[in-house]
Amino acid sequence: MTSDHIVVAVGIVRNKLNQILLSQRRNDVLFPDYWEFPGGKLISGETEFAALKRELKEELAITVTDARKLIATRHKYPDFDVELKVFEVISYEGQPQSQEGQNLKWQQTKNLCGDNILPSDLPIIKALNLPDKYMITPSGKSLQELISLIQYANATHNVKMVQYRDKLPSQEYKAHAQKLITLAHKLDIKLLLNSSIELALALKAHGVHLNSAHLMAQKPCAQPENLLIGVSCHNAQELLQAENINSDFAVLSPVMPSNTHPKNPGIGWDKFAKLVNGTNIPTYALGGMKIADINYAKNLGGQGISGISEFMRIKSCRIPK
């Protein structure tokens, strides 16, 4: 660790109302008055979790008893760069109180973007506003079958974000997409189109999902507001491009052998962990995923899991006529 590279443990602390704690930087430090998530620098030889516990004890007078990784991010400031090791605090003892003269406030997740947030903390907000399950629709299903599958996934697995992917003539795909967007609004879920940014905007979808070819063809630019940009990645180069075009999240695959590609061994969990901890983009694991893998993926620094068949395990759900 050099003097111009700082590693920081950051804690996402919630209260009983599921609000998140923000801390305001004092006016006698760098970036005065900016709001940030509480935490602080690692001491030489200290583990990330040990640093988290120490810093939150010193700053907030709470004792962290359990936490899991959320995301690892990096940010370059003019004179130094910072690496954030971010944890969701699962449980803690005590009530957060300012111990260093800093202002504190509780904020709903959806309102975090309205605050004057420290630039290095902005990727954390993206991760906090995304679910841990991302469903991809199967190809070759009728519109009614897709509706039933999405309804089932939402009711049974609490799926809150769905990618509509299908190989259909453009007009048929558009007609299906319009129906599914209406359904998504009724279910209060996000529907992303595996299509173009232009079509997603035209149909007022919640977002768009770009395949790796479309991702690599994109030029860095400001993305449309209120449109989620998801991308498919398979390696470090594509994840870097996802950062360059300011994507909201990535899906990294294949991690494990899947039903559709049983002979492909995938990159494995170790490689997944290495790749996701080298990017600022919240990243889902895809390929052979099970609901039971969610916490494992998150503990490795991933956002959660993405899949097709895992969310289609319908035993008694019938397709309406």
Residue 317 has pLDDT above 80, yes or no: no
Asked whether the beta carbons of 252 and 285 are under 8 A apart, the reply is yes
| Measured distance CA(217)–CA(267) in Å, rounded | 24
- Give the residue, 119 or 161, on which the prediction is more confident: 161
Across residues 152-157, what is the average pLDDT? Answer: 95
The 10s digit of each residue's pLDDT in 28-79 is: 888 899 999 999 999 999 999 999 999 999 999 999 999 998 988 889 888 8
Which of 9-13, 175-179, 215-219 is predicted with the least confidence, judged by mean pLDDT?
215-219
| Measured distance CA(257)–CA(263) in Å, rounded | 7
pLDDT at 115: 66
Peptide bond into 254 cis (omega under 30): yes
pLDDT at 1: 41
Strands (E), 159-237: 161-164, 190-193, 207-210, 228-233
Residue 318 has pLDDT above 50, yes or no: no
Which of 228, 273, 256 has its CA nearest to residue 85? 273
| Cα distances (Å, whole numbers) of residue 50 to 7, 41, 64, 66 | 13, 11, 10, 11
pLDDT at 63: 98
The 10s digit of each residue's pLDDT in 77-86 is: 888 899 999 9
pLDDT at 321: 37
Q: Two tokens at 48?
A: 């990330």
Does residue 212 sit in helix, strand or coil? helix
* Best CATH choice for the domain 133-312 from the list 3.90.1010.10, 3.20.20.120, 3.20.20.70, 3.40.50.261: 3.20.20.70
Q: How many CB atoms lie within 10 A of CB 106?
A: 14
Which of 2-6, 148-152, 253-257 is predicted with the least confidence, judged by mean pLDDT?
2-6
The 10s digit of each residue's pLDDT in 129-138 is: 999 999 999 9
- For residue 120, the Cα-to-chain-centroid distance in whole angstroms is 16
What superfamily would CATH give domain 5-122?
Nucleoside Triphosphate Pyrophosphohydrolase (3.90.79.10)
| Measured distance CA(164)–CA(179) in Å, rounded | 11
Question: What residue type is assigned to position 160 of the chain?
Answer: K
Each domain of the chain, given as residue ranges in start order, spans 5-122, 133-312
| Measured distance CA(220)–CA(85) in Å, rounded | 26
